[in-house]
Amino acid sequence: MHVGEHPGGDGWEQDTDTLDTWFSSGLWTFSTLGWPDMTDDLKTYHPTTLLETGYDILFFWVARMILMSGYLLGDIPFKTVYLHGLVRDVEGRKMSKSLGNIIDPLDMSAKYGADATRLSLIVGNGPGNDTKLSEGKIQAYKKYANKIWNATRFVLEATDTLFDSSDTPLTEYDKEILHDWHALLSEVTDDITDYRLYLAAEKLYHYFWHTFADLIIEESKPILAGTDIATCASRKILLSTVLLEQLKALHPFMPFVTEAIWQHLPSHKNKRPFLMVEKWPSKT
Q: What is the pLDDT of residues 106-150, one digit of tens each?
A: 999 999 999 999 999 999 888 888 989 999 999 999 999 999 999
- Asked if the structure places residue 109 within a domain, the reply is yes
**Are 167 and 37 in a shared domain?**
no
What's the pLDDT band for 235 if we cut at 50, 70, 90?
very high
- Asked if the structure places residue 212 within a domain, the reply is yes
Count: domains in the chain:
2
CB 117 within 8 A of CB 256: no
**Are 170 and 139 in a shared domain?**
yes
Q: Is the pLDDT at 166 greater than 90, yes or no?
A: no
Domain span at 251: 134-277
**Are 255 and 138 in a shared domain?**
yes
**Are 223 and 258 in a shared domain?**
yes
pLDDT at 186: 97
Nearest-CA neighbor of 70 among 54, 46, 49, 52? 46
**Are 106 and 140 in a shared domain?**
no
pTM for the model = 0.84
What's the pLDDT band for 6 if we cut at 50, 70, 90?
low
- Asked if the structure places residue 158 within a domain, the reply is yes
pLDDT at 241: 92
